[in-house]
């Protein structure tokens, strides 16, 4: 499509950051660059970023301005940005004469000396003009022809070339054998080298048998010393060459194997992360991990068996005709044996496939059992459930053992039947050859027999390997199926790649929203409507199962298949880019997972551009700094997975700091303080007003005391809205709320809580 990169004379040049001081000034603050954009917001972006966005869009790639990492907006930074999004891109410094060659090359971004940019949409060498489009021009507007003199007054000479990468593998394409074949095809050049080496090696392998044939037939029969010396020299050279070529071939196979492996692993993990939360809630971690671990079978097959058998096929193509040339009778015997082996293997394929399916099923259950036990080990220990878990494990191991045994028994049969035929292939042809030689009057048959023996050994292995490939493919087919059962589910990506990126201010509107979880009949939310003004504190209460957490889930875009409307600042949430949405949110749950690493790393959580002082600010806001500073290594204190060295309250405060560090517009606390001891809860509650300043807070809690400061409190019951009002009003007019309040504050008799005669209901 685009011939830009092959344009001769264009040299990629490193563009120093300092070289772009003017641009740096124009975009002195990164904040100015980082205005996330819906159509309106995009207009506020730096013009160079805007030019890149338009050029990338031409190639079908949507760049995310938030992913731009450059300190200033240089050509190198822009190129890196596009490169990170999977595009091919180069920062180049080019001359006018080269610009004229971009007549049909797709858009090129030219950097202007005032810090702006313009898009080169084409060129006309005859008229000596380039066709430029302003980044602000509407899509429909045509480009403007500019000559060299006018361009030189504004252009820095730098350009960013970009196109969709040739080796780009669609991230959302189904994980199938075809997809894998495409992955292998992208390694075209090393594969071609391996092919050439293999053909050469195969040709070389013909020489030793032919030389042996000559030695026996000519040298031994006629005592020709000079022929022997010549043949020895040829053999010496051939061996040396063969050794070197073999070394190179193995090296290239290794490199291709490692590259394929890396690509597979990166792709699989990327897809796993894009799966919706729903998937993880419905499938045990052990099952997912077992399925994904099967990727090693696919990798081994692709870089081992498949590759080497294909290469052997090349050898076969060269050696089989030679074998027929040396002795056609014996050659037919070898081919017939290979066909019988293939037939035996094919006959067993179907029953083996069935047994293998049972193995996979049993192994999946086994994995799920161990995964569940490890994840729930605290509960197992606390309730003394070890014997039960062990019994379950015993069952699963026995099932898997039984399935494997049945599979092994059946797989033993083709093996047993094939082995004697393999022997016939080598030894049988030798015996028949010897018989033929004895009856051969010319005397040339002896040398031919030696040669045939050498060749047939090289042919037998690949022939059997080829037959076995069908069998191996069955296993790999099953492995692909297992990996695909995880990866080929609808991912969140489609909503990630597209969508609006409005600047979030924090107004939330639910209107007539109903939602049911898959497989359930009663709606979790039933025609829910409420409005949360930006920058306010909004509490949600209700009995267990009334739909409080579902509201929080919908806000995070975890489930999007609801009816009615959920709007953020007037924009339908379904229209908003998912990654952008989640960047604007901070979420703290009742039980938060802290990763292995230092406290600082946990608070920053790998977000780029954040430093220790940001972590300290967030920790201060979350009321975590006092205990962090008391720790022996402060912010460098190491936390193990699951954070056993922290108390529940400390963990929770760290989780709040982690949610606060990127200064989210909306902070959701979903029962975040419910499991805390009163002292920790008091610390967090005391900070709540500070935390809330400048953002919308959604606090889901069953402890009403922590919601009294809220501007509005939503009372939910069986998925329906009962009431929305401030605490005092609800006490007056909402009986359910009053009940909950008095139930929780019975002990404060005389301090605002009136004991009630209505029996308390659990929340």
388 is written with which tokens? 């039960």
CA-wise closest residue to 299 among 266, 262, 255, 352: 262
Nearest-approach distance from CB 131 to ligand ATP, in angstroms: 55
Chain-centre distance of CA 604, in angstroms?
A: 22
212-217 long-range contacts, CB within 8 A, separation 24+: 212/447, 212/450, 212/451, 212/454, 213/326, 213/447, 213/448, 213/450, 213/451, 214/447, 215/447, 216/446, 216/447, 216/450, 217/443, 217/444, 217/446, 217/447, 217/448
Which part of the chain contacts ligand ATP (CB under 6 A), choosing from 167-175, 422-430, 452-460, 546-554? 546-554
127 is written with which tokens? 């008229």
- Site residues for ligand ATP, 272-331, by CB under 6 A, read 281
d(CA 113, CA 27): 13
Rule CB under 6 A: say whether 559 interacts with ligand ATP: no
The answer for residues whose C-beta is within 8 angstroms of residue 123's C-beta and 6 or more apart is 99, 100, 101, 102, 103, 129, 130, 131
Nearer to ligand ATP by C-beta: 215 or 763? 763
Binding mask 240-279 for ligand ATP (x = CB under 6 A): ----------------------------------------
Nearer to ligand ATP by C-beta: 452 or 515? 515
Nearer to ligand ATP by C-beta: 74 or 516? 516
Nearer to ligand ATP by C-beta: 300 or 717? 717
499 is written with which tokens? 């969508």
Q: Are 586 and 667 in contact (CB under 8 A)?
A: yes
DSSP state of 154: T
Nearer to ligand ATP by C-beta: 558 or 605? 558
Nearest-approach distance from CB 368 to ligand ATP, in angstroms: 18
Nearer to ligand ATP by C-beta: 413 or 517? 517
Nearest-approach distance from CB 570 to ligand ATP, in angstroms: 25
Which part of the chain contacts ligand ATP (CB under 6 A), choosing from 7-15, 126-134, 544-552, 738-746? 544-552
Nearest-approach distance from CB 500 to ligand ATP, in angstroms: 27
Q: Which of 29, 520, 608, 613 binds ligand ATP (CB under 6 A)?
A: 520
Phi and psi dihedrals of 500, rounded to 5? Answer: -80, 155
DSSP state of 218: I
Q: Which residues of 648-673 are buried (b: 16+ CB within 10 A; e: fewer)?
A: ebbbbbbbbbbbbbbebbbbbbbbbb
Nearest-approach distance from CB 548 to ligand ATP, in angstroms: 4
Nearest-approach distance from CB 382 to ligand ATP, in angstroms: 21
Nearest-approach distance from CB 758 to ligand ATP, in angstroms: 20
Nearest-approach distance from CB 375 to ligand ATP, in angstroms: 17
Burial (CB count within 10 angstroms: exposed 0-12, middle 13-18, buried 19+), residue 685: buried
> Angle at Cα 500 formed by Cα 174 and Cα 60, nearest 5°?
45
Rule CB under 6 A: say whether 546 interacts with ligand ATP: yes
CA-wise closest residue to 677 among 647, 707, 645: 647
651 is written with which tokens? 């963990």
Q: Which of 96, 324, 473, 517 binds ligand ATP (CB under 6 A)?
A: 517
Rule CB under 6 A: say whether 126 interacts with ligand ATP: no
Q: Which of 355, 507, 548, 651 binds ligand ATP (CB under 6 A)?
A: 548
Q: Which of 337, 500, 524, 588 binds ligand ATP (CB under 6 A)?
A: 524
Rule CB under 6 A: say whether 545 interacts with ligand ATP: yes
Contact positions vs ligand ATP (CB under 6 A): 281, 517, 520, 524, 542, 544-550
């Amino acid at each position: 499509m685009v011939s830009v990169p092959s344009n001769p004379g264009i040299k990629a040049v490193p563009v120093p950051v300092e070289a772009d001081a003017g641009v740096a000034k124009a975009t002195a603050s990164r904040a100015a660059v980082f205005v996330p954009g819906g159509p309106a917001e995009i207009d506020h972006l730096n013009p160079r970023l805007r030019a890149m966005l338009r050029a990338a869009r031409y190639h079908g790639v949507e760049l995310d301005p938030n992913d731009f990492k450059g300190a200033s907006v240089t050509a190198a930074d822009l190129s890196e940005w596009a490169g990170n999004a999977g595009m091919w891109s180069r920062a180049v410094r080019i001359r006018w004469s080269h610009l004229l060659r971009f007549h049909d090359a797709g858009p090129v971004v030219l950097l202007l000396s005032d810090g702006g940019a313009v898009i080169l949409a084409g060129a006309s060498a005859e008229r000596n003009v380039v066709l430029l489009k302003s980044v602000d021009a509407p899509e429909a507007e045509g480009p403007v022809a500019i000559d060299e003199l006018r361009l030189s007054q504004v252009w820095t000479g730098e350009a960013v070339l970009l196109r969709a990468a040739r080796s780009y593998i669609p991230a959302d394409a189904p994980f199938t054998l075809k997809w894998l074949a495409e992955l292998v095809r992208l390694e075209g050049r090393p594969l071609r080298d391996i092919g050439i080496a293999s053909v050469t090696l195969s040709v070389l392998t013909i020489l030793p048998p032919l030389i042996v044939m000559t030695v026996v037939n000519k040298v031994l029969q006629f005592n020709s010393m000079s022929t022997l010396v010549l043949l020895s020299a040829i053999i010496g050279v051939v061996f040396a060459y063969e050794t070197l070529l073999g070394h190179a071939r193995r090296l290239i196979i290794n490199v291709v194997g490692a590259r394929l492996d890396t690509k597979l692993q990166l792709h699989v993990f990327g897809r796993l992360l894009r799966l919706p939360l729903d998937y993880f809630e419905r499938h045990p971690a052990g099952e997912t991990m077992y399925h994904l671990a099967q990727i090693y079978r696919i990798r081994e097959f692709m870089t081992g068996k498949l590759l080497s058998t294909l290469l052997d096929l090349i050898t076969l193509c060269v050696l089989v005709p030679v074998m027929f040339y040396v002795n056609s009778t014996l050659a037919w015997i070898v081919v017939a044996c290979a066909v019988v082996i293939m037939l035996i293997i094919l006959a067993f394929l179907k029953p083996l496939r069935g047994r293998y399916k049972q193995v996979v099923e049993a192994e999946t259950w086994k994995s799920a059992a161990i995964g569940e036990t490890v994840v729930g080990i605290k509960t197992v220990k606390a309730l003394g459930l070890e014997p039960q878990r062990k019994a379950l494990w015993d069952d699963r191991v026995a099932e898997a053992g039984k399935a494997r045994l049945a599979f092994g028994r059946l797989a033993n049969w083709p093996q047993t039947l094939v082995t004697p035929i393999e022997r016939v292939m080598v030894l049988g042809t030798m015996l028949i050859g010897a018989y033929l030689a004895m009856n051969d009057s010319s005397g040339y048959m002896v040398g031919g027999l030696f040669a045939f023996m050498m060749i047939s050994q090289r042919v037998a292995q690949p022939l059997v390997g080829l037959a076995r490939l069908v069998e191996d493919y069955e296993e790999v087919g099953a492995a692909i199926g297992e990996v695909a059962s995880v990866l080929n589910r609808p991912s969140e990506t489609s909503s990630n790649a597209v969508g609006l990126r409005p600047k979030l201010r924090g107004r939330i509107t639910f209107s007539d929203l109903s939602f049911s979880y898959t497989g359930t009949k009663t709606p979790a939310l039933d025609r829910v409507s409420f409005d949360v003004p930006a920058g306010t504190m909004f509490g949600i209460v209700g009995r267990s199962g009334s739909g409080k957490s579902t509201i929080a889930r919908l806000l995070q875009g975890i489930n999007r298949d609801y009816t009615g409307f959920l709007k953020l600042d007037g924009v339908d949430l379904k229209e908003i880019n998912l990654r952008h949405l989640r960047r604007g949110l901070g979420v703290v749950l009742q039980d938060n997972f802290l990763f292995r690493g230092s406290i600082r790393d946990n608070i920053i959580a790998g977000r780029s551009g954040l430093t220790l002082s940001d972590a300290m600010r967030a920790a201060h806001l979350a009321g975590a700094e006092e205990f962090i500073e008391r720790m022996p290594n402060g912010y460098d204190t190491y936390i193990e997975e699951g954070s056993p060295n922290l108390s529940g309250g400390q963990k929770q405060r760290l989780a709040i700091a982690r949610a606060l560090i990127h200064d989210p517009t909306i902070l959701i606390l979903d029962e975040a303080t419910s499991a805390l001891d009163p002292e920790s809860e008091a610390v967090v509650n005391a900070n709540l007003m500070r935390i809330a300043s400048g953002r919308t807070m959604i606090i889901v809690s069953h402890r009403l005391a922590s919601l009294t400061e809220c501007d509005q409190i939503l009372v939910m019951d069986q998925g329906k809205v009962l009431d929305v009002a401030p605490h005092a009003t609800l006490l007056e007019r909402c009986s359910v709320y009053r009940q909950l309040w008095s139930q929780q504050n019975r002990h404060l008799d005389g301090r605002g809580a009136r004991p009630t005669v209505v029996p308390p209901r659990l929340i």
